Amino acid sequence: MYLYHFGLRELPFTLTPNTHFFLGLEPHNEALAVLITALQTGEGFIKVIGEVGTGKTLLCRKLLNEIPKHFVTAYIPNPYLKPDELRRAVALELGVRQAQRMSVQLLTQRIQQKLIDLHKEGRSVVLILDEAQALPEESLEALRLFTNLETETRKLLQVVLFAQPELDERLSQTNFRQLRQRITFSYKLRAMTSIEVERYIEHRLQIAGYKGAALFNSRLCKKISKATQGIPRLVNILCHKMLMLTYGQGHFQINTSHLKAAIKDTEDTQLPLIDLRWVFTGIILITLFIGAYLYWDFRG
Ligand SMILES: Nc1ncnc2c1ncn2[C@@H]1O[C@H](COP(=O)(O)OP(=O)(O)OP(=O)(O)O)[C@@H](O)[C@H]1O
Ligand SMILES: [Mg+2]
């Protein structure tokens, strides 16, 4: 691989959402701040929506690492679970013993008791679900019922949903209006701007141990940003392929031909189109130039 060639300690553009590579970009920082503030206020439901590959799972992991100590977290990475399976998964996460064998009724009682015990100890419980767009309808309803458990002053269980925009489409249906009204905080993750893409690439290279001159210049980063529409996962895929191609040729400088080759080989990316503003400016300048020339020619 290209590690030695570029003087890297580790691969800079892997697809695993590893918090070691986290860069505090505006959308991710804002989302974290919204999450922590909302959780402190103790309000039932919170959701974070983001397109595929915008960093939801990474943010989820970051939240798990950074959430204040008095919170107890139950993390469900893959919620394609029926209500009963979801209840058992929550029970297991909360340390309810023998959850696999209990009847639904007993299980619900035990979860409730566990939540009350933790509340008495001054702990708040947060259930975090990634890929929440995959939750079956009945499980979404089961979640809503979970958040009915409350003391006089606060909820015993708060829920954070990380999901692709499909969840919003589903929640807009009338049968979900009760759940929709429970969602007191929501945040929409946006893609990176072209300046952020440049910072992002530099940051990941630096974390991976790169110390040399810039491998991806600003113009190239702008093109990468357009080709990927600022989606972090697509940026990772393209940059990794460009590093491989450059290494394969024994070169050190990455250029547009590497980008073009990487785009050809990558789904969901597209060759940046020529900027039409420049084309129009060019046409206007040429017209003015010809006009001025003909005018002077005519007068002379
Ligand atoms: N702020 C960031 N700093 C560093 N890396 C990031 C950042 N945001 C996203 N990434 C990287 O982008 C890639 C995709 O992120 P992630 O898997 O979290 O996306 P996702 O939104 O969960 O995608 P999906 O919808 O497919 O589940 C990962 O390699 C992740 O490390
Ligand atoms: Mg994910």
177, 232, 258 from 16: Cα distances, Å: 35, 12, 23
Whether residues 267 and 230 fall in one domain: yes
Residue 4 lies in a domain: no
Ligand 1 centroid–CA 184 distance in Å is 25
Query: Containing domain of residue 153, as a range?
Result: 26-188
Q: Can you give the pLDDT at residue 274?
A: 61
Please indicate, yes or no, whether residues 163 and 53 belong to a single structural domain of this protein. yes
pLDDT, residue 298, reads 82
- Is 1 a member of any domain? no
Say if residue 126's pLDDT is above 90.
yes
Nearest ligand 1 atom to alpha carbon 54: 21
Q: Report yes or no on 20 lying in a domain.
A: no
265 lies in the same domain as 240: yes
pLDDT at 98: 82
Residues 229, 199: one domain? yes
Q: Does the CB atom of residue 58 touch ligand 1 within 6 A? A: yes
Tokens 């100890």 label which residue?
Answer: 121
Instruction: Check if 55 has its Cβ closer than 6 Å to any atom of ligand 1.
Output: yes
How many structural domains are present in the chain? 2
Q: Domain ends where: 167, 188, 209?
A: 188
Do residues 176 and 49 both lie within one domain? yes
Q: DSSP characters for 199-245?
A: HHHHHHHHHTT--SS-SS-HHHHHHHHHHHTT-HHHHHHHHHHHHHH
Residue nearest to atom 16 of ligand 1 (CA): 55
Is 79 in a helix, a strand, or coil? coil
Dist CA 300 CA 297 (whole Å): 5
Instruction: For the chain, state the CA radius of gyration.
Output: 26
| 16, part of any domain | no
- How far apart CA 287 and CA 268 sit, in angstroms, is 38
Identify the pLDDT of residue 79. Answer: 82
Question: Per-residue pLDDT tens for 219-231?
Answer: 999 999 999 999 9
Per-residue pLDDT band at 42 (split at 50, 70, 90): confident
CA of 233 to the centre of ligand 1 (A): 6
Same domain? 109 vs 254? no
The pLDDT-based confidence of 275 (bands split at 50, 70, 90) is low
| CB of 147 shorter than 6 A to ligand 1 | no
Q: Give me the pLDDT at residue 55, please.
A: 98
End position of a domain, from candidates 143, 165, 188: 188
Position 147 in a domain: yes
Residue 5: inside a domain, yes or no? no
Question: Does the Cβ of 230 fall within 6 Å of ligand 1?
Answer: no
- Kindly state if the Cβ of 165 falls inside 6 Å of ligand 1: no
Residues 206-216 pLDDT 10s: 999 999 999 99
Ligand 1 pocket test target in 57, 60, 206, 231 with most atoms within 8 Å of CB: 57
Tell whether the model's pLDDT for residue 261 goes beyond 80. yes
Alpha carbon distances (Å) from 182 to 41, 90, 124, 155: 14, 20, 18, 12
Task: List phi, psi (to 5°) of 148.
Answer: -75, -20
| 19 band by pLDDT with thresholds 50, 70 and 90 | very high
Look at residue 15 and tell me if it is in a domain: no
Nearest atom of ligand 1 to the alpha carbon of 13: 29
74 lies in the same domain as 183: yes
Which ligand is the nearest neighbour of the Cα of 130?
2
**Is pLDDT at 84 greater than 80 in this prediction?**
yes
In this structure, are 99 and 139 located in the same domain?
yes
pLDDT of residue 193: 98
Residue with CA nearest ligand 1 atom 8: 55
Q: What are 263's two structure tokens?
A: 């785009």
Q: Say which CATH number the domain at 30 has.
A: 3.40.50.300
**Paired sense of beta strands 45-49 and 124-129, if any:** unpaired
Which of 164, 188, 212 is the last residue before a domain boundary?
Answer: 188
Shared-domain flag, residues 157 and 203: no
Do 167 and 245 share a domain, yes or no? no
Residue 33 shares a structural domain with residue 182: yes
Percentage above 70 pLDDT, the chain: 98
Clarify whether residues 154 and 62 are in a common domain.
yes
Q: Could you tell me if residue 151 is inside a domain?
A: yes
